[in-house]
Structure 1
Amino acid sequence: MKTRQFVTTVLAAGSLAISGLFAADPAPASAGTGACAGNFHVIREVNGFVEWGVTSQCTGDDWYPHQVTAQLETQVGGSWVPVLRRASPGSDQGKPVVVLQFHNDKCRTNTSNNYRMQAWISAGKHATSAISQPTSLPCGDVASE
């Protein structure tokens, strides 16, 4: 069974607490506070393409504007190299749920390659970021469109 990893940002009285990666839902919001939980979609190969994405969901208040940026990276030697970076459109800033899902990067099936994602979530005056666990796919280099 494939699992997703969650990064939770708690917005409380003007402060930001990052609780890291764990498999749980955000705590319910109370008056004057809010919570945003983001999760990485499973990185996978589908019909010769790399499929990847991020979802962020906010509850309570103090989360507007809400924006998500995601970046797919591949490992080259000991370094992680950006492949493609995308941000949520301005029309999503007023939405409590933002989903970024991509599957437009070609995947060649001759070797294995490691991929990971970085995500940045901003909600109101608060922001956080996280890096997913690496995933090995039966692909070669990824070429963006």
Structure 2
Amino acid sequence: MSRHEARRRLALEFGATDIVGERGEEGVARVKDLTGGIGADSVLECVGTPEAMRQALHSARPGGNVGFVGVPHEVRVDGEELFFSHVGLRGGPAPVRRYLPDLIDRVLSGRIEPGKVFDLTLPLDQVAEGYRAMDERRAIKALLKP
């Protein structure tokens, strides 16, 4: 789900088949349309806002799962609504150290190219500008250099 053109192009390059630009209930309706009215088996919520969590939960099919990454900001989930939706919700700290040796090997061997997401390079003292550029969708990810 993206409205950011550079992210959309990169998603297609990495194998995405459908990109949903709508948000909220319109986004949920689009996901349901793409899945024959059922909803997605698995949904990742990667934004951390109440709106994004609600959209993720409503986009999943009964019996599906929503995983969230990072720390949600002011997100409240209605337990009764979650119970009757039959959607599983899972989140927690990522076990980064467990995956790090394999990821480093993949980068060094050339099997993956993580640098593709960095489309803005700034000096470290301009970190605030990097965050601003990502927030304003002028950059996918900012690479900061000393």
Bigger Rg, which one: 2
The normalised TM-score by structure 1 is: 0.25
Higher strand proportion: 1
Where relative contact order (Cα < 8 A, 6+ residues apart) is larger, the structure is: 1
The normalised TM-score by structure 2 is: 0.25
Higher helix proportion: 2
